Structure formats: C-alpha cells, structure tokens
Amino acid sequence: ARLDRVKNMTGLVEMYGRNPRLQELVNLVVVCGDHGKVSKDKEEQAEFKKMFDLIEQYNLIGHIRWISAQMNRVRNGELYRYICDMKGAFVQPAFYEAFGLTVIEAMTCGLPTFATAYGGPAEIIVHGVSGYHIDPYQNDKASALLVDFFGKCQEDPSHWNKISQGGLQRIEEKYTWKLYSERLMTLSGVYRFWKYVSNLDRRETRRYLEMLYALKYRKMAATVPLAVEGETSGK
C-alpha cells in the first residue's frame, strides 16, 4: 500500500510495539511506501517520519522488516506464500477499506487473516471461522487477539491449519472468478429481461426527462428570448 494515514500502517507498528508478548511470538513484516524516493505528499511524509520514530521508540530493530510497496503481482504472491509457509498471518489494519483485495489475496494463499471491521473485509471474513475482524481504533484489543491466536497456534499447531482452511473455504464459496462470472451473467440476463418488459423504448428514462423538463427547464425556456430572423440586421 501507499503510506497513507487511512491505511493505518503506522498504527499496526505501534500496536506491535506496545505489546511485548506479541514481539516474543512473532516478527513483523510491513510492506508499504517507497524507500527509493522522497514522497511529495505531505501526509505520506508525516507517516514516513512517524514510522521511523515508532521503530526507534519501541526498539523494534531485529523484530521488524519494512519492505517498499510491491507492484509486481508475482512477487506479491511469493510474499504471501512465504509468510504462509512460516505459519504467519496477514493483518490489514486500515481505518476503512472499501472492498479489501489484499484480504482476498491473502486468504486465497491460505494465510490466516486479520482485517479491519470497517468496510468490505467485515463481509469477506466470518469472524473466528475464516479469519478475524479487528478494530483499528482499539489497538490493545487487536494486539490481544493476535496474541491469543499465535498463543493457541503455539500450543496446538492444528489451530493455524483450521483458520487457514476456513479462509480457503470462504474464498471457494464466495470469491472465485467462476462465481463472479456466473453472477455477472445472471445480472446481464436480468438487464436483458428488464429491457424486454420495458418494450425496449426506455420509458423510465423518458418519464424522468419529461418530469425534469416540466419542473425545471420549461419555465427557464419561457424566459429566454428567441432570436427572430432579421433582428440582428436591423430590419
């Protein structure tokens, strides 16, 4: 992601830094921003500074790896799979996410996923079954949820597999390209039927335009003087 405030990546680092037990259980990999160039965006500049300050404040050297945002889809897939092979988890801590494509990607790779409760991820994930909802405004509760998950995984490795399989099943049931194409075909069929029963003459559109003319444009048209031939020549 870009290092925008709404993505709350610095919030994730702060949440991790404030919980020593979480640091004992796991390391943190953050993928965002661009180390290769200085951002011209004031908000992103502030988030960069905050990120470095948090790493220093909580002494996270040795616990955190900050990687620049990746545009290569193949490399992104490898990052997901590598974390999955290490029995890690994916965290999407945004204050709000309209849909949550990264959540879909992570779950498709079998990663247990923790994502914001505000926006699309709240619908994608079934809490406690195919992943977990976190409240980005309550860092302590979010970090406690992560500690509880990794603590259970440490005691019983099958718990990780259970949530991983739950996420894969959720994707298979709701978010595959096959399902998407079937829904698209259904919607296009409904649209064609609607056009048929409307006699293909777009009656609804014409009624709307007639109403708009009657309420607004007819009065305006009456006040506009019409140009009569000969007026401009003085005849």
Per-residue pLDDT at 49: 95
Q: Is the same domain home to 22 and 129? A: yes
Judge if 184 and 151 occupy the same domain. Answer: no
**Percent of the chain residues topping a pLDDT of 90:** 66
Which CATH number goes with the domain that contains 163?
Answer: 3.40.50.2000
228 belongs to a structural domain: no
More confident site: 78 or 218:
78
> What was the pLDDT predicted at 181?
83
Q: Are 131 and 212 found together in one domain?
A: no
- Let me know whether 118 and 216 are in one domain: no
Domain-located, residue 233: no
The verdict on residue 227 lying in a domain is: no
**Closest Cα to residue 111, out of 66, 76, 72, 144?**
76
Mean pLDDT of 199-223: 68
- 50-109 pLDDT, tens per residue? 999 999 999 999 999 999 998 888 999 999 999 999 999 999 999 999 999 999 999 999
Q: What is the pLDDT of residue 189?
A: 72
**160 and 192 housed in the same domain:** no
Residue 154 has what pLDDT? 96
Confidence of residue 223 (pLDDT cuts 50, 70, 90): low
Tell me if 124 is assigned to some domain: yes
Give the residue numbers spanning the domain of 218: 179-222
Domain assignment present for residue 90? The answer is yes
Is residue 120 located within the same domain as residue 188?
Answer: no
Q: For the chain, how many structural domains are there in total?
A: 2
Q: Taking a C-beta distance cutoff of 8 angstroms, is the pair 123, 61 a contact? A: no
Nearest to 148 by CA among 137, 159, 138, 158: 159
The span from the CA of 121 to the CA of 106, in Å, is 12
Say if residue 140 is in the same domain as residue 25: yes
228: DSSP letter: P
Of 175, 193, 208, the residue at which a domain comes to its end is: 175
Same domain, 189 and 96: no
Q: Give tens-digit pLDDT for 166-206.
A: 999 999 999 988 888 887 788 777 666 666 656 555 666 77
Alpha helices (H) in the chain, listed in sequence order: 9-17, 20-25, 42-57, 73-85, 101-108, 121-124, 139-155, 158-174, 177-197, 203-212, 218-223
Predicted model pTM: 0.78
